[in-house]
Structure 1
Amino acid sequence: MTIIEKGIDLLALVGLQRAIRDVGTFQVVGALVLLAAVGVFVDWLWMYQLHKKMPPGPMPWPIIGNTYQLPDEKPWILFEELAKKYKTQVLTFWIGRNPTVWICDAWAASDLLDKRAGIYSSRPHMVVFGALGTGQNNLVTMTYGERWRLHRKLTHMGVGLQQVRNYKPFQDDESRIVAYDVLRKPEQYVMHFERYAASVVSIIGYGRRIASDTDPIITEVIAVMQRAAELNVPGKTFPMLLETFPILSYFPPEIAPWMHGLRRGGGRAYGFFYALAEEAATESKNHNYMKAIFDENDKNHLSKKEIASLSGNLFGAGSDTSSSTLVTFVLACCAFPECLPKAWEELDRVVGNARSPDLGDAPSLPYVNAFVKEVFRWRSVAIIGGQPHAPIQDDYYKGWLIPKDTWVQGNTWAIHHHSRDFPDPDVFDPERFLQGGKRNRPFPNEKGYMTFGWGRRVCSGQGLAEQGTWITVARLLWGFWIRKAVDEKGREVPVDIFAYTNGLNMRPRPFACRIQPRTETHRQTIEREGLQALEDLSVYEGETRYRMSTFYRENPSVE
């Protein structure tokens, strides 16, 4: 055999060995692919079986569920449409492998979240606002249990119904200042509302008011709260896509751009609000909520993160939401001017023009009361009812299974736009809350709306928000003519009643309007009362030394 022949035989042997090795590799790869396919199929069979037992909804795809169907904005409208399509009060929509239940009917919401509050008062596993957010340090995201009950009790110390009655004097004065500010600079009405709402909760929490529209609490903290609300909406983009693919939340931020600003345990968001709380507790001359929290902490053993959460919740639940509600009130006045004369007639008859209304006038102002209720109903701020509920055990509703720990959400938009309960739902009509009104219909609770949530998870600040909204709406109705803006030719500029932001706490997108005092006497009264209110509130003057924009740069070691 020649050298060439031996070489050919050697090459053939090597080729054969490589072929055998490649076949082995292909077999391993093929086996892994087959195993993965079988795993996905078995998992999808589990999803399919659960899908048949749960409330109606679209068929989920393997792994991704129905996430691909989510719109870029306002998913609550999709859930409303799907509930109509499937002719169901309660809808199942899969976020990845997790079924979520969307309640799109007031009576079903009452049955489940109110009447079965003992079952539906916990929270499901959440990635963005749970593991990567405040988790078990915050009443809002905390699962139901002893620690939650403690935080609820402590929250009631600040904004419970018994406490809220004590806040009437300074809340009334702050409302008078809103009217005074609107009188002087009507084009800045949104900033006046934000200052007002933030000032009320700042007096409660820290013993000092917010006097300026440019105070950092407004320019910085409110913006952060609004951004957080924008993120807390089911979606198919990051960060909420982490709810569909939770495994992605374990990647370190250094190599995962979708984790930018997110970290397990909530990151560094706590330090600033703890500093505000500690400052108020140790330095404020006025009694305040944070001082009470620190005074009782020997027996409650709250961590710094828990105190920071109680501090931050005041702004999260009491400032952005209240100011957004007032902006909606202005939009309603512009879009439905026919409602104003009825309010004016009642206010002129009961109150007159020598003083503005106060909370003591409420029993004598049924139309104004109905007007405020319609503001809450027409464009509810917490459009998907806040954070999701979760049952602590398997439950059944009308034969449908709702498994333990399922994400259960009240679709406030769908509930408040159900034509059975609210005919012509996009029409702003206060008379739907008056007996004999042509659009008046039965409702499962006495208030006639579900703006603040349900059961044991109802918004702790509901009483404060209702009290503050009533007195401010009543005062602005009494004192001003609020109407559409006009262009250079004197023509009214239309307003869009559907132009709202996409966040969990939605508000109207910017629009122009005209706000003018109704008469010269009203103007004089607003001015006189505003100046007196400034004098009355002077005891709360002060300013924090902390700025969110610089806090962590100046305190790099603070968590």
Structure 2
Amino acid sequence: MLFDKLFDYLGSGSVTVSPKAGHDLAHYAVGAILLAFFGIFVDYGHMLWLRSKLKPPGPRPWPIVGNTFMLPDTKPWFWFEELSKKYDAPLITIWIGRNPTIWVCDAWAASDLFEKKAGIYSSRPRMVVFAELGAGQSNFLNMYTTTPAQRERWRAHRKLMHQGVGVQAVRRYRAFQNNESRVVALDLLRRPAEYVAHFERYATSVVSIIAFGRRVETSADPIITEVIAAMHVAADLNVPGKTFPMLMETFPALARVPNAVAPWKHGLGRKRGRFFFYALAAEAGEQEGHEDSFVKHIFAESEKQGLGVEEIASLTGNLFGAGSDTSSSTLITFILACCAFPETLGPAWEELDRVVGPYRSPTWEDEENLPYVKAFVKEVFRWRSVAIIGGQPHAPTQDDYYKGWLIPKGSWIQGNVWAIHHNEREFPEPDRFNPKRFLADSPDSRPFPGERGYMTFGWGRRVCSGQALAEQGTWITIARILWGFRVQKAKGPDGSVIEVDINDYTNGLNWRPQPFECSITPRSAEVEETIKREGRQALEELEQYRGESKYRMSTFYK
């Protein structure tokens, strides 16, 4: 249509073009086209040379776009797993535009690269969507570590995160984390159908107490609904794919177009969300009491560490946003597993009745005496890991080789947790929820790198900073729900069982089950009374964390 209008314009008499000028114009146009084709030919030849000589195997890339348009519409980690099996290779290469991305689909390869060579694989590749249009190098998640200055900055952020939610720090939080878990049990007793809202309130409240010194009392609090909704949007937008905004990873020049004329950017690059989290931090930092809160520690260290507004906002936002979404999603997966695999509940009930009894709920001191419950929690982490591709990609700080394959410096290399946790060599019948996999004397147990037996939280120096907090809270909450309730498939009005679908999950990088109905009832009258008593006591002890923010994400920028 554009060319038709141009020809009409040229032929209208408004413009006169001499035969010689027209001949020269056509000559230049042909030359430009030939030059473009030659450039594409040379570039594609270079891509194929790299593919055949240097990289792990994968499908043949197309010129310019690579394998981008071969990606499935949803859940690409399934396709990466299939390719790993097709090529019989622990690593595969997928070209996103002209850039190779390497996907690790094997536990032992992931351990060899990300754990044993953690010093090399500690950096990040270029990430147009998540980093350059997001928080950039102000965010601990995105920071490069290729130069001494970058490593020093990253270490400063990592130290602050470890001081907030590291292995030693989280033990200080057990009292209020346990009380919030008791409140979850009380909420499930009163309104079992709203289990998703209860889990989101619980997870958000725990990180809110840690970060700001104040709890979240109700599931209707906008701080839950708005922040978790924002986390879901971010997770959905960052799935590797062939649609915008992730298509900008294939065509990065499109990221430089101003937002006003670039609807494909989905509003990314405005640098707005991070300032909301700074406002929350500053508000909590100015209030009296709870001097051990994370934000007060950050502000106390800000001058020494030279922290800017964006860095403080990112540190707070990472803790608050990610901690609330991932923990609640893990608990929803736990409920799904109970419904889909009821045969796994009997051993847990027997163990809890024998060790704990009905007149108190489990505590962390019971953990070593509850090996089956401990194994149950590990299987929840393994069966449907929330961070299904292990968080953000890694990048080597120097050229490296694995099984004769070159992994160039700065390459995008990422773990496929789905494939790792569903390899039948380590996990026979991987879709079956089976806690006995994690019992040392069980015939279902198989060797696996690392002492935990799963890779849910990533690897090496880029392992999730909140791992200890998540593991601590997930154990006590799952143990308490197993102790207190019968979690089963729901029944319809006619008494028929409503089935659940173990594969019906969202598409985001932090996925969770789609909504499903279930039945959650107390296991006995004695247990019910204990839940009520402990829940009331927990609410009294949590009263010290009562508080409210004046800020709402939905109105902050108005």
- Same fold? TM cut 0.5: yes
Q: Does 1:169 align with 2:175?
A: yes
Retained in 1: the 8 A contact 2:211–2:320?
A: no
1:241-271, CA deviations, whole angstroms, 9 ceiling, x for partnerless residues? 00010010111122221123122xx521121
**Which residue number in structure 1 is paired with residue 267 of structure 2?**
261
Runs of at least 4 residues off by over 4 Å: none
Give the counterpart of 2:409 among 401, 404, 422: 404
Equivalent-residue separation in structure 1 for 2:114 and 2:478 (angstroms): 30
Equivalent-residue separation in structure 2 for 1:101 and 1:439 (angstroms): 31
Equivalent-residue separation in structure 2 for 1:284 and 1:140 (angstroms): 31
Equivalent-residue separation in structure 1 for 2:261 and 2:278 (angstroms): 30
Task: Provide the aligned C-alpha RMSD in A.
Answer: 1.1
Q: Does 1:535 align with 2:536?
A: no
Q: Does 1:26 align with 2:32?
A: no
- Alpha-carbon distance, 1:317 to partner: 2.3
**Which residue number in structure 2 is paired with residue 475 of structure 1?**
480
1:550 aligned counterpart, secondary structure: coil
**Which residue number in structure 2 is paired with residue 556 of structure 1?**
none
Q: Residue type of the partner of 1:158?
A: G
**Which residue number in structure 1 is paired with residue 305 of structure 2?**
300
Equivalent-residue separation in structure 1 for 2:265 and 2:336 (angstroms): 37
> Which segment drifts farther, 434-443 or 239-248?
434-443
**Which residue number in structure 1 is paired with residue 277 of structure 2?**
273
Equivalent-residue separation in structure 1 for 2:547 and 2:20 (angstroms): 81
Retained in 2: the 8 A contact 1:56–1:92?
A: yes
Q: Residue type of the partner of 1:360?
A: E
Equivalent-residue separation in structure 1 for 2:503 and 2:412 (angstroms): 28
1:185-220, CA deviations, whole angstroms, 9 ceiling, x for partnerless residues? 000000000000000000000000001111111111
Q: Residue type of the partner of 1:24?
A: D
2:550 aligned counterpart, secondary structure: coil
- Structure 1: any 5+ residue segments left out of the alignment? 1-16, 554-559
**Which residue number in structure 1 is paired with residue 471 of structure 2?**
466
**Which residue number in structure 2 is paired with residue 156 of structure 1?**
162
Equivalent-residue separation in structure 2 for 1:20 and 1:335 (angstroms): 78
- Alpha-carbon distance, 1:232 to partner: 1.3
> Which segment drifts farther, 184-193 or 289-298?
289-298
Equivalent-residue separation in structure 1 for 2:451 and 2:304 (angstroms): 38
- Alpha-carbon distance, 1:143 to partner: 1.1
Q: Does 1:286 align with 2:290?
A: yes
Q: Does 1:105 align with 2:110?
A: no
- Structure 2: any 5+ residue segments left out of the alignment? 1-16, 146-150
**Which residue number in structure 2 is paired with residue 47 of structure 1?**
47
1:27-76, CA deviations, whole angstroms, 9 ceiling, x for partnerless residues? 11111000000000101111111111100001111100000111110000
Retained in 2: the 8 A contact 1:252–1:259?
A: no
Q: What percentage of residue pairs aligned between the two structures are identical?
A: 64
1:361-397, CA deviations, whole angstroms, 9 ceiling, x for partnerless residues? 0010000000000000000000000010000111110
> Which segment drifts farther, 486-495 or 457-466?
486-495
1:78-128, CA deviations, whole angstroms, 9 ceiling, x for partnerless residues? 000011111100000001111000000000000000100000010001101
Retained in 1: the 8 A contact 2:362–2:483?
A: yes
- Alpha-carbon distance, 1:435 to partner: 2.0
- Alpha-carbon distance, 1:284 to partner: 4.0
Q: Does 1:186 align with 2:173?
A: no
2:556 aligned counterpart, secondary structure: helix
Retained in 1: the 8 A contact 2:68–2:250?
A: yes
Equivalent-residue separation in structure 1 for 2:547 and 2:184 (angstroms): 19
Equivalent-residue separation in structure 1 for 2:345 and 2:106 (angstroms): 30
- Alpha-carbon distance, 1:22 to partner: 2.4
Retained in 2: the 8 A contact 1:106–1:415?
A: yes
Q: Does 1:241 align with 2:242?
A: no
Retained in 1: the 8 A contact 2:323–2:470?
A: yes
1:549 aligned counterpart, secondary structure: coil
**Which residue number in structure 2 is paired with residue 88 of structure 1?**
89
Retained in 2: the 8 A contact 1:417–1:426?
A: yes
TM-score, length of structure 2 as denominator length:
0.95
Give the counterpart of 1:339 among 339, 344, 349: 344
**Which residue number in structure 1 is paired with residue 232 of structure 2?**
226
Larger Rg belongs to: 1
- Alpha-carbon distance, 1:299 to partner: 0.7
Q: Residue type of the partner of 2:513?
A: P
1:279 aligned counterpart, secondary structure: helix
**Which residue number in structure 2 is paired with residue 215 of structure 1?**
221
Q: Residue type of the partner of 1:486?
A: K
TM-score, length of structure 1 as denominator length:
0.95
**Which residue number in structure 1 is paired with residue 556 of structure 2?**
551
1:189 aligned counterpart, secondary structure: helix
